[in-house]
Amino acid sequence: MLDKLEFILNRIRERLWVKPLIVCLLSIAAALASRAADSFGAEMGLEQWTPEVSKESLVELLKICAASMLVIATLAVASMVSAYASAASTATPRTFALVIADDVSQNALSTFIGAFIFSIVALVALMNGYYGNSGRFVLCAITLAILALVIVTFVRWVDRIARLGRLGAVIEKVETATAHSLKRRRSQPTMRCAAISGSSDDGQPVFTQQVGYVQHIEYDKLQARAKKHDIHIRVAALPGAFVCPGAPIAFILGGDNDNPDNKDQGDGGDTKLNAKTVEEAFVIGRNRLFDEDPCFGFTVLSEIAIRGLSPAVNDPGTARDIVGAMGRLFVLWMEPDAKKTVEDSCEFDRVQVPELSLWDMFDDAFTAIAREGADAPMVHLRLQETLYALAHFADGAMRDMAVKHSRLALARVEQRLTLEDDLEVIRKTGLCGELSSEGDDRRP
């Protein structure tokens, strides 16, 4: 349930209207609740101690606030739309969800709209004699507090909006989202489920009628179904996988489930498992998400690098920076104390989930950059240096991947570059130079 709740909250954060709506409701409540001060002051006999606030001065203050907040809110929306368009054009459209979920910008827009709604509601109530002396005093105090909050929010927002759609800020957001996803998967390699045992295609396959990407899997729902029918369920499509009616998303192991269309009528009827109930545990959508799909983060970073390497942009420096970001992410994935954070408990013992493939992560991270940047020596120098660092930092599996991708990158460079001096520099860099000095017979 917690995983499902987190998934839903992340989707809510990507909706620009949610926070402004909540703040608007709170603003209306604050404006109307100020009248409670009149009743409280009368009961406690505090009216004589309450400072006198004239209705006219408060009306003018609220008019100024309402007029200025409407202008600022309109400016905020225009600036944010411009930043979103900039992020999509300079980086990749796949980063839109991260940019629109920026908390500072959403909070700023919510504050401006909330202050405008508060001013309008309070102004109408005030001009119709809704408040007494104590109510006007409380309303004035709330108005001044809101103005102070608006000023602080505006100053913070100006600094953020100046960077929001810039390429460097977008890359940082993608790297942060990918790191968060990697940390979660590193601490839960099989997502608190059992590891894969036996052949990967054993059992009765479960298919989906949808076409799209797996965004989230409700493992607790799979566990409940498997326990009820005394079976095991093997997940075949992890979050990020593209699924369609012809590809299985899971396999049912054990039990009498030869017919995947059996109806699940509960304890009082046929106890055979309906494959539809397994499919319902898979949330499938049109787009991939960063939450539980680290490979998507590597893919998006790679797309940004490829755009920078295109002739229209011609910005190999961006590709170099992204290769460095890839290195930081893989170091995070394979840091020496990572195994200490792994949760040993298997909460969903009837659900089998595969671990992330290191080959898939390396392929998503480096293959496209090595291919598209084969004629950019500065990019390949950074790539070889990064692969060399990863090969000497981590275990045997990552070293094998680093060596393989180093050879593939060098082979691509040798097919594209014509200047022998550039080729020689790359051959002597990183793993290429190390393998050459060792006389490795597998050297490309």
pLDDT level of residue 45 (50, 70, 90 thresholds): low
What is d(CA 437, CA 431) in angstroms, rounded to the nearest whole number? 10
CATH code of residue 208: 3.90.1170.30
pLDDT at residue 360 tops 70:
yes
* 46 and 123 inside one domain: yes
* 272 and 303 inside one domain: no
pLDDT at residue 58 tops 70:
yes
Which residue did the predictor score with more confidence, 276 or 45?
Answer: 276
pLDDT of residue 433: 61
* 265 and 375 inside one domain: no
pLDDT of residue 345: 66
Classify each residue of 190-220 as buried b or exposed e, where b means 16 or more C-beta atoms within 10 Å of its C-beta: bbbbbeeeeeeeebbbbbbebebbbbbbbbb
* 249 and 307 inside one domain: no
What is d(CA 79, CA 287) in angstroms, rounded to the nearest whole number? 26
What pTM does this model have?
0.83
Report the SS3 class of residue 240.
Answer: coil
What is d(CA 255, CA 277) in angstroms, rounded to the nearest whole number? 15
What is d(CA 150, CA 330) in angstroms, rounded to the nearest whole number? 41
pLDDT of residue 369: 95
Lowest mean pLDDT among 237-246, 251-260, 343-352, 421-430: 251-260
pLDDT level of residue 318 (50, 70, 90 thresholds): very high
pLDDT level of residue 361 (50, 70, 90 thresholds): very high
For 115-166, how does the pLDDT look when each residue is reduced to its tens digit (9 = 90+)?
Answer: 999 999 999 988 888 888 788 888 888 999 999 999 999 988 888 888 887 8
* 273 and 316 inside one domain: no
Flag whether 16 is in a domain.
yes
* 281 and 390 inside one domain: no
For 403-420, how does the pLDDT look when each residue is reduced to its tens digit (9 = 90+)?
Answer: 999 999 999 998 888 888
pLDDT at residue 71 tops 60:
yes
Flag whether 172 is in a domain.
no
- The average pLDDT across 356-377 equals 92
What is d(CA 319, CA 325) in angstroms, rounded to the nearest whole number? 10
DSSP string, 296-358: HHHHHHHHHHHHHHSTTT--HHHHHHHHHHHHHHHHHHT-TTGGGG-----SEEEEE-PPPPH
- Residues shown for the chain: 444
DSSP string, 363-379: IIIIIHHHHHTTT-HHH
Nearest to 364, CA basis, from 407, 308, 326: 326
Flag whether 179 is in a domain.
no
Flag whether 185 is in a domain.
no
Report the SS3 class of residue 269.
Answer: coil
State which of 264, 285, 306 marks the end of a domain: 285
Q: Where are the alpha helices (DSSP H) in 209-254?
A: 219-228
Per-residue tokens: 335? 């840091």
Q: Determine the structural domain holding residue 61 and report its residue range.
A: 2-165
Q: Contact, 415 vs 374, CB < 8 A?
A: yes
pLDDT at residue 394 tops 80:
no
What is d(CA 283, CA 371) in angstroms, rounded to the nearest whole number? 34
pLDDT of residue 164: 80
Q: Contact, 167 vs 304, CB < 8 A?
A: yes
Report the SS3 class of residue 239.
Answer: coil
| Proportion of the chain above pLDDT 70, given as a percent | 87
* 72 and 112 inside one domain: yes
pLDDT at residue 340 tops 70:
no
Flag whether 173 is in a domain.
no
pLDDT level of residue 113 (50, 70, 90 thresholds): very high
pLDDT level of residue 271 (50, 70, 90 thresholds): very low
What is d(CA 18, CA 268) in angstroms, rounded to the nearest whole number? 43
What is d(CA 359, CA 389) in angstroms, rounded to the nearest whole number? 17
Total structural domains within the chain: 3
* 122 and 227 inside one domain: no
* 377 and 417 inside one domain: yes
* 96 and 134 inside one domain: yes
Flag whether 348 is in a domain.
no
* 59 and 120 inside one domain: yes
* 160 and 33 inside one domain: yes
